Amino acid sequence: MGFQPVVLWTDLLLFGLIACVLLAAWSARRSEPMREAWRRVGESGMGMASITVLAMFLLVGVLDSLHYRARLAPAGGAGDKVQLSTEVRSALDALAEPLRSRVEKTYSAPLAYQLFARQTVEGPDGTQRREFPRLKFGGGSLKYPEEDRTGDILGRIGIGLAGAAVGWLLLAGALVLGVARSRRVPAGAAWRAIWRGKGGLAWRWALATLGAVALVAGPLAALATEYHVFGTDKVGQDVLFLTLKSIRTALVIGTLTTLVTLPLAVALGIMAGYLGGWVDDAIQYLYTVLNSIPGVLLIAAAVLMMQVVIDTHPQWFETAAERADARLLALCVILGMTSWTGLCRLLRGETLKLRELEYVQAARAFGVSTARILTRHILPNLMHLVLIALVMDFSGLVLAEAVLSYVGIGVDPNTVSFGTMINAARMELAREPMVWWSLVAAFVFMFVLVLAANLFADVVRDAFDPRRS
């Protein structure tokens, strides 16, 4: 069978952004102030805990960004041309194949073995009765689910906890060996240093966070092999799988938007603050006009216009995934075009102060070019503000996608996101009995992601604060 790799635009940009972050981290090692600031981030327990949680989400997002199309077997002889499947899958789909493929008929509650609603079933004698039919996959191996389900669930939770403990011990051992090798001390001494919080970075907080994640992920993985842990949606899809797929959308919205925001905000903010005059007036007029337009209306108009372009050019896209990816990329661009004004205003005000400092005035007196002053003296002294603003804006962009998708102007309906899950749950909450698990699953995962991002932003803000002694 085989497969052919597929690189979507958002995949390319996401991996490019990760590469740029790694390159920036490598170059920051030559700057003593940057090393000191990031060392303070690593020494913060809350910083290491939030970094660990964000790394887990990033791992899921990267796996879901490795796309491919399966090669189909030739319909005729060996000489027939190999065809590709129209469905674009990812590495996460392959790893979570049981979750993806086990589709029920309709709603089922978390850890249930029956459908959520009664249905008319015809008996062997031709009579019809209303009952809760058994699920095809949820608890399918249980012969007597009424008696065996509780024991089976508890046993799987125990297996999951045991597997989580083994995985945590392996990770802790690898960390101890790494610290021991870097500090050239015995493994026992490295473990004691980590446990006492003297291992350099706050590794014990990272291990504690990994342990907490393992205690949750282990039982979930063990239960997911037999049950729908978070239930199923209206068309019978596993809600846990949909929630995992939503992580990539949130990460793409929160990170790729910076590719549009950063150049506009930095370039225009520095130019307005340093050059002044009519340049400053024009840039201030531009972002004042943008701020005067309600953001939701501006985004809605831009998204609808982009959707018209996509609908009128179907030949641009071979698969539905490429079409949905185009709208996701367009949403990132639109959000970036409408969210750069705050950072631009902040950088303008800071540049107005920097241009009056003695070393900048001396550089101008010696005839140093404007471009060199901006790149060598102004921009480096603004990077801490840029970094803090971008980290703090991440959670806002994730929430913005959820709100926009909720009102129907966000991502493509074929793209799974927290916003589309919440939008679908809006009608489910009006059912009787109420279907609540889709909303709760999306809310919990989005809450953890946004909370980790906000905590990390607070630590970065404190570490890069120039007033810190």
Residues 6+ apart with CB under 8 A from 469: none
**Given CA atoms 431, 419, 421, 314 in this order, what sign does their dihedral have?**
positive
- Residue by residue, pLDDT tens for the chain (469 residues) are 577 888 888 889 889 888 888 887 787 777 777 788 888 888 888 989 999 999 999 999 999 999 988 877 666 555 556 677 778 889 999 898 888 888 888 888 898 888 887 777 776 776 777 778 888 888 878 888 888 888 889 999 999 999 999 999 998 888 888 888 877 778 787 778 777 777 678 888 988 999 999 999 999 999 998 899 999 988 889 999 999 999 999 899 888 888 888 888 888 999 988 888 898 899 989 888 888 877 777 888 888 888 788 878 888 888 888 888 888 888 888 888 888 888 889 899 989 888 888 888 888 888 888 888 888 888 878 877 887 788 778 888 888 888 888 777 778 888 888 888 888 887 777 777 788 888 899 989 989 998 998 888 888 888 876 555 4
Is 251 exposed, middle or buried (CB count within 10 Å of its CB: 0-12, 13-18, 19+)? buried
| Residue entry with tokens 């996509």 | 310
Cα separation, 57 vs 447, in Å, equals 12
Question: In this predicted structure, what is the pLDDT of residue 258?
Answer: 82
> What is the pLDDT at residue 82?
67
Q: What is the pLDDT of residue 291?
A: 81
**419: which 2 tokens?**
């916003």
Specify the DSSP element, H or E, that contains 68: strand 67-72
Q: Give the bridge partners for 4, in sequence order.
A: 69
Torsion of CA 255, 261, 266, 271, to 10 degrees: 170
pLDDT for the residue numbered 412: 82
Element (H, E) at 464: none
DSSP state of 416: -
